[in-house]
Amino acid sequence: MEGLKEEIAAIAMRMGIDKVGFASKESLRDAPPSGDMGHILGSARSAVSLAVALDKTAIRAFLSKEDQQAHVEDHRQSYIRLRKAEEAIQKLLVDKGYQAVGHYPNFDYRKDQPFLTLAPFLSHRYVAVAAGIGWLGWSGNLITPEYGATVSLSSVVTSAELEPDALAEGDICENCRLCAATCPSHFISQKDGIIVNIAGRAYAHNKKAHNLRCLATCGGANGMGSPEAKWSTWSYKVLDLPAPEGGDEAFVQSVVEQSKDPANRLLRATLNAERVEMRGWEGFERFWNTVPLTCGSCMLICWPNMKDKQDNYNLLTTSGRVVKTDNGLKVIKG
What is the binding site for ligand SF4 (CB under 6 A)? Answer: 137-139, 143, 173-179, 182-185, 187-188, 214, 217-218, 295-298, 302, 309
CB of 304 to ligand SF4, least distance (A): 9
Residue with Cβ nearer ligand SF4 (76 or 177): 177
Q: Least CB distance from residue 75 to ligand SF4, whole Å?
A: 12
Q: How far is CA 206 from CA 126, 136, 138, 219, 310, in A?
A: 15, 10, 5, 21, 19
> Measured from the CB of residue 222, what is the shortest distance to ligand SF4 in angstroms?
8
Residue 82 or 218: the one with the smaller Cβ distance to ligand SF4 is 218
Minimum CB separation of residue 100 from ligand SF4 in Å reads: 30
Which is closer to ligand SF4, CB of 13 or CB of 305? 305
Beta strand pairing call for 100-103 and 46-53: unpaired
| Residue whose CB is less far from ligand SF4, 22 or 187 | 187
> What whole-number distance in Å separates Cα of residue 75 and Cα of residue 65?
16
Torsion region of 104: left, alpha or beta (phi above 0 gives left; psi -120 to 50 gives alpha):
beta
Instruction: Identify residue 232 by its one-letter amino acid code.
Output: S
| Minimum distance, C-beta of residue 171 to ligand SF4, in the bound complex (Å) | 9
5 vs 213 by CB, closer to ligand SF4: 213
> Cα–Cα distance between 182 and 204 in angstroms, integer?
19
Residue number with the shortest CB distance to ligand SF4?
Answer: 137
User: To the nearest 10°, the Cα dihedral for 130, 112, 287, 34?
Assistant: -10
Cβ distance to ligand SF4 smaller for residue 4 or 214: 214
Between CA 319 and CA 327 the distance in angstroms is 20
d(CA 302, CA 177): 10
Residue 119 beta carbon to ligand SF4: minimum distance, rounded to whole angstroms:
16
